[in-house]
Amino acid sequence: MAVTATSRSGPDVLIIGGGPGGCAAALQLAKRGLRSTLVEKQRFPRDKVCGDALSGKVMRTLGRLDPALVERVATDAGRMPSWGVTFVAPGGEALRVPFSRTTGQGEAPGFILPRLHFDALLFDAVERSGPVDVRQGCVARSFEKRDGGWTVILDNGDVLTPRVVIAADGANSHFARHVAGLGMDPRHHAAGVRAYYRGVQGLDADGFIELHFLKELLPGYLWVFPLPGGRANVGLGLRSDHVRARRLDLKAELHRLLSTHPTLSSRFAGAEPEGPVQGMGLPLGSRRHPLSGDGYLLVGDAGHLIDPFTGEGISHAIISGVHAADVACDALASGSLGARALAAYDARVWKRLGQELAISARLQGLAHKAWLFDLVVRRANRNPALADTISSMFTDLDLRARLRKPGFYLQLLFG
């Protein structure tokens, strides 16, 4: 059947989605001089339901991609520098773990910055980059594979004929599910809710993020991420199969815990929500699966790359977006765009993120053991060397891998 359209265009690469992964891919393609089109269904600035934490891994990757972006994040009026994390064990004892030995000095290792601001900074950088044709307020409705590329029809009637598609359209990616066949498995998926509050008491002056591993939520957790002016991003997440089994209403559960839990209720007694509690889906990278195929690459949440233990997804989206751009460039240069050639992307991503995701998947499997959290936090608070080791685990994967080994916990038990 013939296709009727208002216009035709043939970019080398079509990027679906203007979040961190899509923007990272667009910026890397632009650096390598390749023409691309980025299609984003919303118009910026737009909000994104998320925890808003930008880890040191995010900042390091941004620095390699575009150093100016690091400066823009670090000077944004809405950002909160973050120097560490506080773990609250099921028994109520807290462990304060700094990201740096020089807390409060120099540039912070990480930040908390609402996605409304962060994504707009990235998207603005893409619009300024030059060889990127940006289409806001457009949805890619259909994809037809053809020799040498794709025919993609937008909802405004435009027809694009890219040679490669980079799908970075998030957790509910139409392309990933209906074209790549990457379905949702509740055992490898989490549900989360989030709200902004003002007037929260006891927020850390150095922007330490709080992870509360409450007995009611294991193997999930509740977070409190501080923002300037006594504001905070507050939410909780739990694996989807546990949500179904317990028949939990996560929005109601967040309200209940903030108003009744002994470690939280006094801090939120005078706090006010700034809007409704919003939900999100988190496709987890707790198993390996194909990230590419004939003429396409899946990036970030669309590729199910969220950390299964921490829930972090921004850094993995940016990292995978850069790798997708590089593999697309190499494939276009060689003229080989089939599944075998693009499988180089899978190899790069799993080499970069595979060990970390495997460790996190193992930790998620241990996360329902309340006594383990209590033991680790209790011993670390009494042993500075152990606390320092845990702090180093944020940047040293070999150290973090020790958490998967029974010997680590035997050492804790027997000193």
Instruction: Work out whether strand 8-9 and strand 80-82 pair parallel, antiparallel, or are unpaired.
Output: unpaired
Looking at residues 181-203, what average pLDDT do you find?
Answer: 96
Q: Could you tell me which of 199, 167, 166 has the C-alpha nearest to residue 302?
A: 167
pLDDT > 90? residue 178: yes
Which pLDDT does position 260 carry in this prediction? 97
CA 250 to chain centre: 20
Q: Any idea what DSSP says for residue 195?
A: E
State which of 283, 307, 328 marks the end of a domain.
Answer: 283
Which pLDDT does position 386 carry in this prediction? 77
The answer to whether 72 touches 118, Cβ cutoff 8 Å, is no
* 28 in a structural domain: yes
Which pLDDT does position 99 carry in this prediction? 85
Question: In Å, how far are 7, 145, 159, 301 from 4, measured between CA atoms?
Answer: 9, 17, 9, 33
Question: Is residue 247 domain-shared with residue 149, that is, in the same domain?
Answer: no
Neighbouring CB atoms inside 10 A of 95's CB total: 21
The answer to whether 49 touches 279, Cβ cutoff 8 Å, is yes
H/E stretch holding 13 reads: strand 13-16
Question: Is residue 138 domain-shared with residue 21, that is, in the same domain?
Answer: yes
pLDDT band per the 50, 70, 90 thresholds, residue 2: very low
Question: Is residue 123 domain-shared with residue 243, that is, in the same domain?
Answer: no
Which pLDDT does position 6 carry in this prediction? 40
Range of the domain at 397: 368-414
The answer to whether 113 touches 80, Cβ cutoff 8 Å, is yes
Using omega within 30 degrees of 0 as the cis cutoff, is the peptide bond preceding 90 cis? Answer: no
* 273 in a structural domain: yes
Instruction: Work out whether strand 296-298 and strand 164-167 pair parallel, antiparallel, or are unpaired.
Output: parallel
Question: In Å, how far are 131, 239, 301, 346, 372 from 367, measured between CA atoms?
Answer: 46, 11, 22, 28, 8
Instruction: Work out whether strand 209-212 and strand 221-227 pair parallel, antiparallel, or are unpaired.
Output: antiparallel
Using omega within 30 degrees of 0 as the cis cutoff, is the peptide bond preceding 109 cis? Answer: no
Question: Is residue 136 domain-shared with residue 175, that is, in the same domain?
Answer: yes
pLDDT band per the 50, 70, 90 thresholds, residue 86: very high
Ranges of H-type helices in 280-405 = 314-334, 339-366, 370-382, 384-392, 397-401
The residue count for the chain: 415
Question: Is residue 33 domain-shared with residue 14, that is, in the same domain?
Answer: yes
CA gap 388, 146 in Å, rounded: 55
SS3 253: helix
pLDDT band per the 50, 70, 90 thresholds, residue 175: very high
pLDDT band per the 50, 70, 90 thresholds, residue 7: very low
Question: In Å, how far are 29, 324, 340, 342 from 13, measured between CA atoms?
Answer: 9, 11, 18, 13
Neighbouring CB atoms inside 10 A of 276's CB total: 10
CA gap 13, 33 in Å, rounded: 12
H/E stretch holding 150 reads: strand 149-154
Question: Is residue 145 domain-shared with residue 275, that is, in the same domain?
Answer: no
pLDDT > 70? residue 271: yes
Looking at residues 111-127, what average pLDDT do you find?
Answer: 96
pLDDT in tens, 362-412: 888 888 889 888 988 898 898 888 787 777 666 666 666 666 666 666 665
Which pLDDT does position 47 carry in this prediction? 94
Question: Is residue 223 domain-shared with residue 273, that is, in the same domain?
Answer: yes
Question: Is residue 279 domain-shared with residue 295, that is, in the same domain?
Answer: no
pLDDT > 60? residue 4: no
Question: Is residue 385 domain-shared with residue 326, that is, in the same domain?
Answer: no
pLDDT band per the 50, 70, 90 thresholds, residue 8: very low
* 76 in a structural domain: no
Looking at residues 356-367, what average pLDDT do you find?
Answer: 86
Query: Which of 71-85, 305-319, 398-412 is least confident?
Result: 398-412
* Residues above pLDDT 90, as percent of the chain: 78
**In the structure encoding, which two tokens stand for residue 271, read together?**
């706090």
H/E stretch holding 240 reads: helix 240-246
Average pLDDT of every residue of the chain:
91
CA gap 367, 349 in Å, rounded: 26
Which pLDDT does position 5 carry in this prediction? 39
Residue 108's identity, in one-letter code, is A
Query: Which of 95-109, 114-128, 346-360 is least confident?
Result: 95-109
Looking at residues 147-161, what average pLDDT do you find?
Answer: 94
Which pLDDT does position 101 carry in this prediction? 77
Q: Which residues pair with 386 in a beta bridge?
A: none
State which of 342, 363, 384 marks the end of a domain.
Answer: 363
Question: Is residue 181 domain-shared with residue 298, that is, in the same domain?
Answer: yes
Number of independent structural domains in the chain: 3
